[in-house]
Amino acid sequence: MDPRGRDSAASAAQETSCHPVVEDLISKQVSAMRLRGKPRVDAEALVLRFQRGRNYLHVVDAVYPPDEQLEPPPAEAPTRRKGRRLSVLRSLVAKN
C-alpha cells in the first residue's frame, strides 16, 4: 500500500488510464496541427507538456502513423494565366 492507504497496483493503473474527454480534446488538437502541416515532433511535444502526457502518445500515433512520411504541402506552381496576364499588362503599358 502507498502512504495514502491505496493499493500501489490500483494507483498505478489509475495513473496510466486515459480519460475519454481529455483523449478527445488531445485528438482534436493533434488533428488540427496535422491539417496545418505541423510535424509529428510538434504534436508529441504538445502532448508531453501535460503531466500524464505519455499516456496519450497513442493519439499522436493514430493521427500521424509512424510509417507515413509527412511531406510539406507543395508550393503553388505559377500558372500560365498569371504569366499571360503580365504579358498583356506589359503590352498595354508599352502601347501608352
**Can you give the pLDDT at residue 39?**
94
Residue written as grid cell 505541423: 38
**Can you give the pLDDT at residue 25?**
93
Residue 42: count of CB within 10 angstroms of its CB: 15
**Can you give the pLDDT at residue 91?**
72
Is the sign of the CA dihedral 20, 61, 42, 47 positive or negative?
A: positive
Predicted confidence pLDDT, tens digits, the chain (96 residues): 445 555 544 444 445 578 899 999 999 999 999 999 999 999 999 999 988 999 999 999 999 987 655 455 555 555 555 556 667 667 777 766
Is the sign of the CA dihedral 5, 12, 44, 35 positive or negative?
A: negative
pTM of the model: 0.54
Residue written as grid cell 478527445: 24
Rounded to an integer, what distance in angstroms lies between the CA atom of residue 17 and that of residue 55? 7
**Can you give the pLDDT at residue 68?**
59
Q: Is 94 helix (H, G, I), strand (E, B) or coil?
A: helix
